[in-house]
Structure 1
Amino acid sequence: MEHLKKLKYNSPVILTFTLICLIVLFLGNITGGYTTSKLFCVYRSSFTDPLSYIRVFTHILGHSSFEHFFNNFLIILIVGPMLEEKYGSKMLLALIIITAFITGIVQVIISKDALLGASGIAFMLVILTSFTNVQDGKIPITMILITIMYLGKEVYYGIMYKDNVSRITHIIGGICGIIIGIIISKYYKRRTYYDKT
C-alpha cells in the first residue's frame, strides 16, 4: 500500500484515454468484435442512425488487436504527457476530440471502409510535439524533419503498398498537428508578449 502512494497519475487525459481504449479492446474481444464494430469504428451509414454521429468521435477508442493498441499507445504514452504538462489537460482533451472528429468525417467522406484506432491522434501528438521548441517565430529544423519524415513516409507507403493501414488517417492526424501547432504557437507568442508589457 505504501508503494502505491508513491505512484502519480501524472497525465490524467493520456492515462485515462489509454485505460478506456484498453477496456474497449477487452470488450471487443469478449463480444467477438460486436461492440467494436457497433460503437468504436467509423464508417458510412444512414444519417438516421444516431450511432453514426457518436462513432465519428469514438472510433479512436477502438483497436483491432493488442498489437494495434500497443503500436499506437507506445507513441501516445511517450509524447502525450509532455504535451499535457505544457498545454494543460483541458486543452489536450479538446485537441484529441477535434482530431477525432476531423479524421472521422474525412474517412466517411472519402472511403467506404471502416476506420478505428488512435493512430490519427498519435500522429497529431508527434507533430505537435515538434512545435514545443518554436520561439521568436523561428521554425526549428527538427520540426521540419519530423514533419517530412512522418508524413512523407505515409504518403510513400500509401502509394507503394496496399494494406489495411489507413494512411490517410495518419496524414490527416499529422496535418491537424501542424495546424494546431501553428495556432497554439501564435497564441502563446501573443500571450508571452502581453505578459511582458
Structure 2
Amino acid sequence: MRITYNAPVTLTFAFFAMLILFIDAQLAPNLIHNVFTAEGKMTFDPKNYSAYLRLVTYIFGHVDINHLTSNMMFILLLGPSLEERYSSGSIAIMIFMTALLNGLINAFFFSTMLLGASGIVFMMIVLTSFANVKRGEIPLSFFLVAAMYVWMEVVRAKSEGDISYFAHLLGGICGAIFGLFENSVSRKSAS
C-alpha cells in the first residue's frame, strides 16, 4: 500500500492553512492579521491593493489551532469525495467563488473582519448533500441539513456576536447553488 495525494485541492488547502498558522505562531507574528483576514465595510480601503487580495486569502487564516482543526476536519472529510464527484478544478473554483463572494459582501455590508474557512466548510456540507441527486428529485437529506444548518446559525448569531454567521449562511447558499448547477450540467451532458 502507498500513500497518494488523492485530493490535491483539499490537501493543498489544508497544508497551506496549517503552514500559515505555524508561520504566524512561530516566525512572523501578525502575519494572519496583516495578510489573511478580510476587512469589513468600516476598515476596507479600496485604494489599498492588498485589501482586494485579502477578499480571498482570509480563508487560510485561523485564530488558533482549535479554529484550524475544527475547519480542517470537515474540509479533509468532505473535500476528497467532492473532488472525486465534481473534479478538483470545479472544487477549486467553488472555493474561490465562495470566498470572494463572502469577502465582497462583507467589505460592503458588514463591519466584521472575516477569518477562517467556515464558509467553505458550510459550502462543502451543503454541496455533499447534492452528491446523489437524481433527475427531478431533491433528496430529503438536503432539506434536513439545510434546515438544521440555518436553525443552528440563527440561534448562534443571537447568542454570540463576534463571528460572521452571514459568511456561514452564504457558504451554505453557495453550496446549494453549485450543487444544483453541477447536477443540471451533468444531467445535460449525460443526455
Q: Please indicate the TM-score interval, normalised by the length of the shorter structure.
A: over 0.9
Highest CA radius of gyration, 1 or 2? 1
TM-score by length of 1: 0.91
The structural deviation recorded for 1:45 is 2.4
Alignment of 1:2-151 (within 5 A): 6-30=2-26, 33-43=29-39, 44-151=43-150
Aligned with 1:6: secondary structure?
Answer: coil
Q: Is the 8 A contact 1:151 1:170 kept in 2?
A: no
Structure 1 spans left out of the alignment, 5+ residues: none
Q: How far apart are 1:31 and its partner, in Å? A: 5.0
Structure 2 counterpart of 1:128, one-letter code: L
Measure the CA separation in 1 of the matches of 2:47 and 2:103.
17
Q: How high is the TM-score relative to the length of structure 2?
A: 0.94
Larger CA deviation: 179-188 vs 13-22: 179-188
Ranges in structure 2 where 5+ consecutive residues have no aligned partner: none
| Alignment partner, residue 178 of structure 2 | 180
Provide the rounded CA distance (Å) in 2 between the counterparts of 1:189 and 1:106: 32
Indicate how the Cα distance of structure 1 residues 145 and 60 shifts in structure 2: closer, same or farther if over 3 A, else same.
same
Cα RMSD (Å) of the superposition?
Answer: 1.3
CA distance, structure 2, for counterparts of residue 107 and residue 45 of structure 1: 9
In the alignment of these two chains, the number of paired residues is: 188
Mark the CA change 1:84 to 1:136 in structure 2 (over 3 Å): closer, same or farther: same
Per-residue CA deviation, residues 94-119 of structure 1 (Å, 9 max, x unaligned), is 11000010111111122222111000
Q: What's the % identity of the aligned pairs?
A: 34
Residue 33 of structure 1: CA displacement?
A: 4.0
C-alpha distance in structure 2 between counterparts of 1:97 and 1:113, whole Å: 20
